Amino acid sequence: MINDIQEIILTPEQIRNQIKELGLKISSDYQSDPPLLVGILKGALPFLADLMRSITIPVIYDLMAVSSYGASTKSTGTVRIIKDLDIVIENRNVIIVEDIVDTGLTLQYLVENLRSRKPKTIKVCTLLDKPSRRVAPIQPDYNGFEIPDVFVVGFGLDYAEKYRNLPYIGVLKEKIYQNT
């Protein structure tokens, strides 16, 4: 797997330190009314787990699974909810926890879908933000790292279900995905 990586752009230590900062910020912002974290499967799972451990106030979480990519490197533009929430979010503070915000189309759909369920507040926390690719007018409220327009894998991010287990964020060599 390591031979498929062009370069490492975020080390495990950089990721760990930034997640701690995000956890402290969320803890401070929600001290009087803890949030429900909504992790978006599968990519956000490592981020969600580390983020929860970095939050110093009581917190609960639930998971959603959506699909807009399939085995491609580009979004299809059609978002499908594969697994919905088990917890009712009405009158709760909700933070959507995402691995990466790219075009913003999937996230825009999720925010609109969850907003229709009448939460008290809804915010977005992402590990990675790629604003150069943004199509939808959406901006994360909590952002780990802004990255350039490169195809990244690792720390939950995948290509065709591979590379999620890498402890860092790396740029995937183009020859690996060029035929999709």
The domain ranges of the chain are 2-177
Confidence check: pLDDT of 77 > 80: no
What average pLDDT does the structure give for the chain?
93
Does residue 40 carry a pLDDT above 80? yes
Q: Please give the structure tokens belonging to residue 158.
A: 């995948």
- Do the beta carbons of residue 19 and residue 47 sit within 8 Å? yes
pTM of structure: 0.92
Q: What CATH number labels 2-177?
A: 3.40.50.2020
As annotated, the active-site residues are: 102
Instruction: Judge contact between 171 and 63, C-beta under 8 A.
Output: no
What are 80-139's pLDDT values in tens digits? 899 999 999 999 999 999 999 999 999 999 999 999 999 999 999 999 999 999 999 999
Chain segment 4-23, per-residue pLDDT in tens: 999 999 999 999 999 999 99
Contact 53, 82 (CB under 8 A): no
